[in-house]
Structure 1
Amino acid sequence: MRKLSLLLVLAAIAATGCTPTERGAGIGAATGAVIGGAVTGNVRGAAVGAAIGGVSGAVIGNVAGRPGQCYYRDRYGRRYIAACPG
């Protein structure tokens, strides 16, 4: 239980620098893996759950993003947000 708590804390810290789409995909995949593994009782069910949850979470996270805004990277690799072209 203690290892699981530590893993969840580390995952939450890593997700703070992500876009809403990336964050939604991560949360969806983790939730799907847990539910899929619990329902089927095997690794295959967890993998299918992670795939379905990841895609669903990415779609939801993408919708939650800023409309009309795009993410870009400058030449130093830093991410910034600006209006989408066209």
Structure 2
Amino acid sequence: MKKLLLVLPLVLAGAAACTPTQQGAAIGGVGGAAIGAAVANDSVEGAVIGGAAGAIAGALIGRASEGSNQCVYRDQYGRRYTAACPRGYY
């Protein structure tokens, strides 16, 4: 347990430099592996399946949260559409 407490800050510091997609995949993979190992009859198989599913879900969620330089606009009739954001708009 002490080793985990020593390694955890290093892992978190390394994840800070990642994109939201990579962070989501890592967090989802770890969380999915932990949940899969806890609920499955075979903890190794559960961890592998849960980790894979969590990584995929986390990557999709992380990708959705990344800025794609697209803005959502509404026209005078209330219809919504997506187009490139104006220059300099963050």
Q: TM-score, normalised by structure 2?
A: 0.70
Residue of structure 2 in register with 1:52 after alignment: 53
Total equivalences in the alignment: 70
Shift of 1:9: 1.9
Segments of 4+ moved more than 6 angstroms: none
SS, match of residue 24 in structure 1: helix
Identity of aligned residues (%): 47
Q: Does 1:21 align with 2:27?
A: no
Give, in angstroms, the shift of residue 7 of structure 1.
3.0
**Alpha-carbon distance in structure 1 between the residues aligned to 2:64 and 2:20:** 9
Quote the offset at 1:6 in angstroms.
Answer: 2.4
Mark the structure with the bigger radius of gyration. 2
Cα 1:37–1:56 shift into 2, 3 Å: same
Unmatched segments (≥5 aa) in structure 1: 70-82
Cα distance in structure 2, aligned partners of 1:16 and 1:60: 17
Shift of residue 14, structure 1, vs aligned partner: 1.1
Instruction: Give the gaps of 5 or more residues in structure 2.
Output: 71-83, 85-90
Shift of residue 16, structure 1, vs aligned partner: 0.8
